[in-house]
Amino acid sequence: MKANTSIILDSRKQLKNGLYPIKLRVTFNRSQRYYPADLSLNQNDFNLIMGANPKGENKNIRLKLNALEQKANKIIDELPVFDFNVFKKKLYSNQHIREDVYHYYEQIIARQKIDEQFGTASNYTSSLKSLKTFKSKLKFNEITVDFLKAYERFLLNEEKSISTVGIYLRPLRAVINQAMEDGTLSKDFNYPFGSKSKFKYQIPTSRNIKKALTLAEIKLFFEYKAEAGTWEDKALDFWIFSYLANGMNITDIAHLKYKNIDGEYIKFIRAKTKNTNNVVSLITIFITDDIKKIIAKWGNLEIKKDNIIFPILNPNHTAEKQRATIQQFTKMVNKYMKIIAASVGVDKPCTTYYARHSFSTVLKRSGANVQFISEALGHSSINTTKAYLDSFEDDSKKEMAKALTAFK
C-alpha cells in the first residue's frame, strides 16, 4: 500500500489571528499525520491559491506548496517500506529552513500583503531589516532572554529610542507566537518573553508624549483664515474635520462614502479594525455645521451612495497605491499644519495625531467618562484610550489645588 499526500487547510483549530495552518497530510494504512507548511490562511484565500490559475503572490505560494508535496511524494517513492518516523526525518532534512526566523518572517509578510495589510507588513519588514543588521542569520532556538537584552543594547547604542525598541520587538514576539501556534516550534521551546519578575524579557515601553492641544490653542485654528483653495486651506479643513469627527484618521476620512452618512450622523468602521479578530464597533459621529461646510467645500460633487465623499483616492488604484496616496496626503496636511501652528503661536507640531489626541483629551476635560471616549475612538481596550488622554490644563490644576484649602 502506498502513502497518499495532500495539501490541506487544517481547520480543526483556528489560530489567534483568525487563520488556519496549512499542512501536508499523509495517509497510510488508514492512519494520518500532519506536517506544518509554515503558512496560515483563511478558507477563501486557500481556495484561491489551490484553484485554477492563481495569480501574483497566490501563484508563488502555490508553487511552494506544490514543491513541498512533490518532495514528500519523492521520499515516499524512495522508501522501500513506508514509515511515518523515517518519512518525517527525510521531509525535514532541511530542518534549518523551519528553524530560520527570517524565512518565517518573510512568509508572514507575504501573507499580510495578500490580505492588503500593507501597514502591518511595513512594520514587520522594518523589524526584520533591523534584526538582520544585528545578526545576519537567526534560528528560533537562539532567541533567548540574553539575546533580546543584547539586541536592545545594540539598538540603544545605535541611538534608537525605547519606543523604537518596542516597535521592532513586538513583531518578533508575534512571529514566535504564531510559530508556536501552528506547530513550527515544539512545545519544549523556551519562550523568552514575559515579566522581568519571572526572569523573562519584558519589551520596554516609553511614556507616551502627549499630543493634545488646549481649547485655547484649538480656537486659534478655527479662527485662522487661510487663502481659499490653497493647500494650507485644505490642510486646515481636514485637520478640523478629523478633530470634530471623533479624531478620525486620514485613512478613514479618505475611505468615507456617502452611504456612511445616515441622516444627521456619519457611521463607519475603522479600516484598522476590519481585518482583526477584535470586536469591531460602529463609530457614530454627529454632523455639526462645521463638518457640513467641509464636506460641501471639498466633497465629491457627484453624490451617490457608493462614491467616496472626499476625492483623495482613485478607486481603480491598487490597495498599495492607495496607501501611498494616503501617506502623501497626510504628509501634506502635517506640513501645512506645522506652518499654521507657527503662524498662530502654537509651539507644537500639530499633526493629524494631535487632532485625534485633542478630541479625546478635550472630551475628558469636559467631564466625559473614559468608556464613552473609548467607544467614540473605536478602541477595543480602555487601556488604549487612557494612553491618548492628556493631563488637565494647568489652570484646572491650579483650581484643584485651591479647592484643597477652600476652608481658609
pLDDT confidence of residue 261? 95
408 residues of the chain, pLDDT tens digit each: 789 999 999 998 888 778 899 999 999 998 999 998 878 889 999 999 999 888 888 898 999 899 999 999 999 998 888 999 889 888 876 655 668 899 889 988 988 887 778 888 899 999 999 999 999 999 999 999 999 999 999 999 999 989 899 999 999 999 999 888 877 787 778 999 999 888 999 998 766 566 789 899 999 999 999 999 999 999 999 999 999 998 999 999 999 999 999 999 999 988 776 655 555 678 899 999 999 999 999 999 899 999 999 999 998 888 889 989 999 999 999 999 999 999 999 999 899 999 988 888 888 888 888 888 888 887 777 777 776 665 555 556 566 556 655 655
Return the half-sphere exposure (C-beta side, CA atoms, 13 A cut-off) of residue 282: 7
pLDDT confidence of residue 133? 96
pLDDT confidence of residue 46? 93
Domains, the chain, ordered by start: 4-93 (no CATH), 101-198 (1.10.150.130), 215-399 (1.10.443.10)
pLDDT confidence of residue 329? 97
Distance CA 311, CA 174 (A): 36
226-229 — which CB contacts under 8 Å span 24+ positions? 226/340
Residue tagged 522501500 (cell numbers): 80
Q: 326 Cβ partners below 8 Å, 6+ apart?
A: 250, 251, 254, 312, 313
pLDDT confidence of residue 259? 96
Looking at residue 193, the DSSP 8-state letter turns out to be B
Q: Is the pTM of this model over 0.75?
A: no
